[in-house]
Structure 1
Amino acid sequence: MLVGAELRRIAALIVMCAVATVAAVADDSSTTSAAGFSCSSGGPAYEVRSGDSWYGIAGRADVNPSALLKANDAAVTDVLVVGDRLCLPSGADVTGICTSYTVRAGDSWGSISTRVGSSPGAVAAANGAGLDRTIHPGDVICLPSGASATAASGGSAPSGEAGGSYTVVRGDSWSAIAWRADVSMRSLLNVNGANARDVLLPGDVLSLPAGAKQPAAAPRVVLQAAPTQGPCGYRDTWGDARSQGRRHAGVDIFSGAGNYVYAVADGKLSGRSWDGAGGNSGNAWMLTADDGNKYFYAHLSDFAPQLRVGSRVRAGQILGWVGDTGNASASHLHFEIRPGGGSPVNPYPILRAQGGCNNGRPYTQPGGWVPDRTR
């Protein structure tokens, strides 16, 4: 009898342990659900949209494509499907990929979610974080789909002293206006109570910060061909800080290594630089179009062998191939536009109006031949 009682006591303990284990698993499951999708990279999460590519996402997040692939243990050949959740590398610029919010003093996942009409778990999950991750004033986070960006902004009033006004014209952007006014984009946004995702429409009247120059009218440039073969990605980084105190005077088009680089207009190759120690541009061409506009192409892996300085080219003709020569951490084309051969202007709205890259059949070359899609 003593043995039987002992057996019954042991059996009861086993049942109790089993129940406790099930309860613990259930509790752990609910915690995971609340925390949502989590990124070990330390960066925010991103949900793949229609038309996305690895290079496109990396370009908009201003990160190295290889860093994006590493953060997701992926290869560039892996197919992206709409709705996939990706982790962005630490330090990614989320303003180019989502509706963003800058954390303020006293904010928490809960207070932000209340302000934007979402849930704490959804806001945290949009950033690949758990609810236990600490956020700090000045952090820029992504808001989940459907969240109210207007509520997030809190109806912020303009700040800073105004110094004149400017009327928006077609092709303008916040960064382009700031560059031509010789002010920081942040001061321009502040004096208008705006954020970088606010859309500018022709006819809008903006306030300029005190001390700003009156922006000259944006010159009109129309590209006759795309500068690269797609697929590719690019974003507006005009005027962004670069090493050695430089400011970015072009647009970085992230495309696969070896993709064709094309003449964007009929004209003559007026300059060439070769990759060498200490050079920023690497292998580069300067194209002077027949209308006087100049176009600068940098970081090419190689030049088309039949071309020389002085060679005449036509729109769509292959000038070389996308590479990473010079001061480049990933394969891309640095592309500049200089209307009338003068100072560079923001190429982003001009490139966007043209369609970005040639995602169809490669352009027909002189002599009538059509190249394969890649080198």
Structure 2
Amino acid sequence: MRASALLCLPLLILATQAAQAATMCGAMRMPAAELREISRGFSRGHEGLDLMAAWGTPIRAADGGTVIYAGWYFAYGQIVDIRHADGVVTRYAHMSAFAPAIAPGEPVAAGQVIGRVGATGRAHGAHVHFEVRINGRAVDPKPFLALAPCVERPEEEALEVAMAPDQPPPRRAQKKRH
């Protein structure tokens, strides 16, 4: 009985993470406004999205929260970790510089500049590595960001959609012809 309960625990954790991501669909902002492309997506060997942008481009907090770490972290180079009200942690890595007053314990607002795009640590070219972590475990950041429309939009409304390399392009709704 005890072993079967332990086997079910990972499924419960994954289901909880998926539900949490679904309720936040598109709630976070893109960390680099001048995004060129997503050079690498989330996978088993890569726990975030690599968002390519020009060296020195401002990196913004995806959502409001409190800085829990700002400093050098092995292959990530210079990073900032932010804990949000719901316990989700976002990580921004390979920064060339931190914004003034970014330090553990400091509050940040959604969209606030927290640093600059760089290539510190084990990075090849300027980009920000963006992660979302729930209970210390990395999850796919795409559902949290407005990378794909979460709601239907009128066809006339312009919407730029950044797609990860492993995603097919979104299908457009066909107009009914009478």
| TM-score interval for Structure 1 and Structure 2 normalised by the shorter chain | 0.5 to 0.7
Which residue in 1 is equivalent to 2:38?
Answer: 234
Structure with more relative contact order (C-alpha pairs < 8 Å, separation 6 or more): 2
Query: Aligned pair in 2 of structure 1 residues 325, 235: CA closer, same or farther (>3 Å)?
Result: closer
Q: Secondary structure at 1:234's aligned position in 2?
A: strand
Higher share in helix: 1
Is contact 1:283–1:325 with CA below 8 Å preserved after alignment?
Answer: yes
Which residue in 2 is equivalent to 1:344?
Answer: 138
Greater gyration radius:
1
Aligned letter for 1:318?
Answer: V
Which residue in 1 is equivalent to 2:106?
Answer: 311
Percent identical among aligned pairs is 31
Where do residues 71-82 of structure 1 align in structure 2 (5 Å cutoff)? Answer: none
**1:250 pairs with one of 31, 48, 51:** 48
Aligned letter for 1:348?
Answer: K
| CA displacement at 1:347 relative to structure 2 | 1.2
Aligned letter for 2:80?
Answer: W
Where do residues 172-251 of structure 1 align in structure 2 (5 Å cutoff)? Answer: 216-217=14-15, 218=18, 219-220=20-21, 221-222=24-25, 223-234=27-38, 237-240=41-44, 247-251=45-49
Is contact 1:235–1:348 with CA below 8 Å preserved after alignment?
Answer: no
| CA displacement at 1:283 relative to structure 2 | 0.7
Deviations 1:214-265 (A, max 9, x none): 583213234332211213211563225xxxxxx2111111111111100111
**1:266 pairs with one of 64, 76, 94:** 64
Aligned letter for 1:257?
Answer: W
Q: Secondary structure at 1:280's aligned position in 2?
A: helix
Where do residues 1-375 of structure 1 align in structure 2 (5 Å cutoff)? Answer: 216-217=14-15, 218=18, 219-220=20-21, 221-222=24-25, 223-234=27-38, 237-240=41-44, 247-274=45-72, 279-339=74-134, 341-351=135-145, 352-353=147-148, 356=162
Q: Secondary structure at 2:139's aligned position in 1?
A: coil
**Please, what TM-score do these two structures have when normalized by structure 1?**
0.33
Query: Aligned pair in 2 of structure 1 residues 350, 224: CA closer, same or farther (>3 Å)?
Result: closer
Tell me the distance in 2 between the aligned counterparts of 1:297 and 1:224. Answer: 13
Aligned letter for 2:86?
Answer: D
Is contact 2:39–2:52 with CA below 8 Å preserved after alignment?
Answer: no
Structure 1 outlier segments of 4+, above 4 Å: none
List runs of 5+ in structure 1 lacking aligned partners.
Answer: 1-212, 241-246, 357-375
**Please, what TM-score do these two structures have when normalized by structure 2?**
0.67
Tell me the distance in 1 between the aligned counterparts of 2:97 and 2:127. Answer: 13
Is contact 1:300–1:325 with CA below 8 Å preserved after alignment?
Answer: yes
Q: Secondary structure at 1:333's aligned position in 2?
A: strand
Tell me the distance in 2 between the aligned counterparts of 1:316 and 1:237. Answer: 22
Is contact 2:28–2:144 with CA below 8 Å preserved after alignment?
Answer: no
Is contact 1:232–1:253 with CA below 8 Å preserved after alignment?
Answer: yes
List runs of 5+ in structure 2 lacking aligned partners.
Answer: 1-9, 150-160, 163-178
Is contact 1:236–1:348 with CA below 8 Å preserved after alignment?
Answer: no
Tell me the distance in 2 between the aligned counterparts of 1:297 and 1:226. Answer: 11
Aligned letter for 2:56?
Answer: G
Q: Secondary structure at 1:315's aligned position in 2?
A: coil
Which residue in 2 is equivalent to 1:195?
Answer: none
Tell me the distance in 1 between the aligned counterparts of 2:58 and 2:40. Answer: 22
Query: Aligned pair in 2 of structure 1 residues 236, 330: CA closer, same or farther (>3 Å)?
Result: closer
Number of residue pairs aligned between Structure 1 and Structure 2: 135
